Structure 1
Amino acid sequence: MGMSVTISAASEQDAEQILKLQYLCFQSEAELYGDYRIEPLVQTLEDFRAELAHSCVLVARLGEEIVGSVRAVVDEEGTARIGRLCVHPRLQGHGLGGRLLAAVENRLVAEFDAKRYRLVTGSRSEGSLRLYRKFGYAQVGTELDRQVTLVSLAKDATTYATSA
C-alpha cells in the first residue's frame, strides 16, 4: 500500500468508523462463542459517543482509514480498564495490536496517572491472550458472562510497555 500506519487520539468524527470496525472485528469472537449478542456487537453509536467523551480512545490509521482501535478509562484509584482492542482482519498478525496496546498504556500513565492496567478477554481468544501475556499481563480471575467465560488480566503500570 505504500503508507505507514499511524496511531493517534480518536475524535468525535471517528465514532461511526470505529464502531463499524469494532463490529467487523468482533464477528470472529461472536462465532467462536456462538453468541452474537456480545457487547461489542450490540453497542449503539449513541452509547459509544458517550463513552468517547469520557474515555481515552486511540485509533490506528492507514491513510484516512481507521484500521485499529483501543479504549480505556481510569478510575479514582488509578486502575485503567482497557478494552475493545481491535485490528482490521486484513492487518492482523503484523504487530498493530501490540502497537495499539503499548500506545494506550503509555498515554494512560502520562495523561491519566494510571497505576495499574486491567483488561478482560474471552477464555477461548488465544490470540488475544497470547498478546496480553507477551505484554506482561497475568490472569487475576475469571467470570461468566452469559455463556462466555471471561479471563481478567492485570499488570502494574510500572511494567513499561514498548514504545508505540
Structure 2
Amino acid sequence: MGMSVTISAATEDDAEQILKLQYLCYQGEAELYGDYSIEPLTQTLDGLRTELAAGCVLVARLGDEVVGSVRGTVDADGTASIAGLIVHPRMQRHGLGGRLLGAVEDRLADEWSALRFRLATGHRNEGNLRLYRKWGYAQVGTERVSAKVTLVTLEKGVTALVGSA
C-alpha cells in the first residue's frame, strides 16, 4: 500500500530538508517554554552543514522526503553526544524516533567506538523523557540554560544496547 521509511546516512544534499524539518519540529518545544530563540530555531544552513561534515547524521526517508533525523558525535573519551532527534509531526507516535535513536546508537558504537551515550532534552518535554527512559537512559544532571529552559542530561553505557527497546 504505502512506502516504508528507510534510515540512512545523511548527505550534504539533505541539509536544507533537515533544517526545514528541524524548524517545524521545534515549534512545539519553543511553545512549551515560551522561548522561540532556542538554538534549533536559529541554526543556519551553514551551521547545519558543519555538523553534517563533523559527525554522524542519519535521516529517515519516506520516498524522497526527509521525515526524521538524528545527529551524534563521539569525543576522545568515547562519550557519544546524541542531539537533534526529530520526526515529522505526521510521523510521530509510530516508533520512528526509537528507530532513529537505535540506528544512531548502533552506528556510533560500531563505527565511532562510542563507550557511552549522552543526550539532553528540556525538562518539560515528557514525551522525550519517556522515550529516552524506555531506551535505557538515566538522568545524570540538569543545567539551567535560560530563565525558562532547564536541560535534563541523560546517559547510558553501550552495554545497555543489549535488550533496549
Normalised-by-shorter TM-score class: over 0.9
Offset of residue 27 of structure 1: 0.3
Q: Which runs of 4+ in 1 moved over 6 A?
A: none
What is the aligned partner in structure 2 of residue 6 from structure 1?
6
Whether the aligned pair in 2 keeps the contact of 1:102 and 1:162 (CA below 8 Å) is: no
What is the aligned partner in structure 2 of residue 131 from structure 1?
131
In structure 2, the CA distance between the partners of 1:60 and 1:163, relative to structure 1 (3 Å rule), is: farther
The one-letter amino acid of 1:98's match is: G
Structure 2: distance between partners of 1:72 and 1:139: 19
CA RMSD of aligned residues (A): 1.4
What is the aligned partner in structure 2 of residue 18 from structure 1?
18
Residue by residue over 1:57-96, the C-alpha shift from the partner in whole angstroms, topping out at 9 and shown as x without a partner, is: 0000000000000001000000000001000000100000
- TM-score after normalising by structure 2: 0.97
Offset of residue 21 of structure 1: 0.3
Structure 1: which 5+ runs fail to align? none
SS of 1:128's equivalent in the other structure is helix
SS of 1:3's equivalent in the other structure is coil
Structure 2: distance between partners of 1:161 and 1:117: 14
In structure 2, the CA distance between the partners of 1:99 and 1:163, relative to structure 1 (3 Å rule), is: farther
Whether the aligned pair in 2 keeps the contact of 1:99 and 1:163 (CA below 8 Å) is: no
Residue by residue over 1:2-56, the C-alpha shift from the partner in whole angstroms, topping out at 9 and shown as x without a partner, is: 1000000000000000000000000000000000000100000011101110110
- TM-score after normalising by structure 1: 0.97
Structure 1: distance between partners of 2:33 and 2:150: 9
SS of 2:80's equivalent in the other structure is strand
SS of 1:48's equivalent in the other structure is helix
Structure 2: distance between partners of 1:162 and 1:68: 24
Whether the aligned pair in 1 keeps the contact of 2:79 and 2:115 (CA below 8 Å) is: yes
In structure 2, the CA distance between the partners of 1:84 and 1:75, relative to structure 1 (3 Å rule), is: same
Whether the aligned pair in 2 keeps the contact of 1:123 and 1:150 (CA below 8 Å) is: yes
Range 1-10 or range 26-35, more displaced:
1-10
Structure 1: distance between partners of 2:158 and 2:41: 30
Structure 2: distance between partners of 1:106 and 1:2: 27
Structure 2: which 5+ runs fail to align? none
Give aligned pairs, total: 164
Residue by residue over 1:107-158, the C-alpha shift from the partner in whole angstroms, topping out at 9 and shown as x without a partner, is: 0001000000000000000000000000000000000011201100000011
Structure 2: distance between partners of 1:161 and 1:110: 14
Structure 2: distance between partners of 1:42 and 1:85: 16
1:153 correspondence with 2:154: yes
What is the aligned partner in structure 1 of residue 89 from structure 2?
89
**Fraction of identical pairs, as percent:** 70
In structure 2, the CA distance between the partners of 1:25 and 1:87, relative to structure 1 (3 Å rule), is: same
Whether the aligned pair in 1 keeps the contact of 2:139 and 2:155 (CA below 8 Å) is: yes
